[in-house]
């Protein structure tokens, strides 16, 4: 016992606190985690790689664009001036270029006919160019420098021209036919391909009753320039009695007329934007028939 009469309570050693370890007498500082540094380093490498790839892609893309533009410029320098009657690989290329755009596909025949001229004019009209049916440098510049550009055939091939037959020689042939109906048919055949024009009865363009009027006029028979009036003036016949030269009427009100040529076909001038053509009678609703002479 102590002099004060109080007992000393023995102190227990604290086990909850541990003194920091020392290295050469100094307190050790905690080490920084290595994982974040590794991640940062990895990010840096990825970023550099991404920049490298982007730069490479840009360079390759630039080279491709430059190459494409160079190729288009090279082809443009070789592009020929094309018009109706031309025939070549260049015409086939023109048709393929036009088919790569919206619209009804052209037959890729390599021959520049009415359909090709019509599509060329449609493109020229869209771009404010004169619609003369000619595919010149301005047309090729449009076709070769947009996303619809196609490749082949080459534009450097030789272009030949096939002239349309002269109508005078063809028209002369109908004078030897004996019957008036045959003469009317021969005249109508000579007008195949002529454009439709409302109110026209030749030469060079026709509407439906204008074509039949002109055909029978060539045979010495006068007809009015109106479908109903023609039906009224001519002698009515049945479909089974049809022979070449007869007038065939279609649609309600007999609003359309053609010239019968045999084998169930007529020659007619269809509508604006089209040309004089052959067609099967069965393609239109039959309304009646008549024989002018």
Task: Please give the structure tokens belonging to residue 144.
Answer: 């070769």
Q: Which of 8, 127, 236, 256 is catalytic?
A: 256
Q: Which of 70, 225, 236, 268 is catalytic?
A: 268
225 has catalytic annotation: no
149 has catalytic annotation: no
Structural contact between residues 230 and 239, judged by C-beta atoms closer than 8 angstroms: no
Structural contact between residues 122 and 103, judged by C-beta atoms closer than 8 angstroms: yes
Give 88-131 as a DSSP string: SHHHHHHHHHHHTSSSPPPP--SB--HHHHHHHHHHHHHTT---
End-to-end CA distance of the chain: 161
268 has catalytic annotation: yes
Tell me phi and psi for residue 203, to 5 degrees: -80, 150
Q: CA 293, CA 69: separation in Å to the nearest integer?
A: 66
Task: Please give the structure tokens belonging to residue 42.
Answer: 């990895």
Q: Which of 8, 70, 149, 208 is catalytic?
A: 208
Within 192-244, residue ranges assigned H as helices are: 208-217, 227-233
| Residues recognised as catalytic | 208, 256, 268
């Amino acid at each position: 016992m102590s002099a004060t009469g109080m007992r000393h309570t023995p102190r227990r050693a604290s086990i909850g606190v541990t003194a920091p370890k020392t290295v050469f007498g100094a307190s050790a500082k905690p080490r920084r985690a290595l994982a974040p540094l590794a991640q940062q380093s990895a990010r840096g490498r990825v970023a550099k790689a991404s920049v490298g790839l982007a730069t490479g892609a840009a360079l390759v893309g630039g080279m491709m664009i430059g190459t494409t533009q160079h190729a288009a410029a090279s082809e443009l320098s070789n592009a020929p001036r094309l018009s109706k009657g031309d025939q070549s690989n260049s015409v086939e290329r023109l048709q393929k270029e036009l088919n790569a755009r919206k619209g009804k596909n052209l037959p890729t025949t390599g021959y520049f006919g009415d359909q090709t001229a019509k599509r060329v004019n449609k493109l020229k009209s869209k771009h404010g160019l004169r619609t003369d049916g000619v595919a010149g440098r301005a047309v090729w510049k449009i076709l070769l420098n947009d996303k619809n550009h196609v490749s082949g055939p080459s534009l450097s091939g030789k272009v030949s021209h096939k002239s349309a037959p002269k109508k005078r020689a063809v028209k002369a042939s109908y004078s030897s036919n004996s019957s008036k109906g045959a003469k009317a048919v021969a005249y109508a055949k000579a007008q195949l391909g002529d454009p439709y024009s409302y109110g026209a009865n030749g030469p060079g363009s026709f509407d439906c009753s204008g074509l039949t009027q002109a055909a029978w006029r060539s045979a010495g028979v006068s007809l009015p320039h109106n479908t109903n009036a023609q039906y009224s003036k001519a002698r009515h016949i049945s479909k089974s009695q049809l022979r070449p030269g007869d007038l065939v009427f279609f649609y309600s009100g007999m609003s359309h007329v053609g010239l019968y040529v045999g084998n169930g076909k007529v020659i007619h001038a269809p509508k604006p934007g089209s040309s004089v053509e052959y067609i099967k009678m069965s393609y239109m609703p039959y309304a009646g028939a008549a024989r002018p002479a």
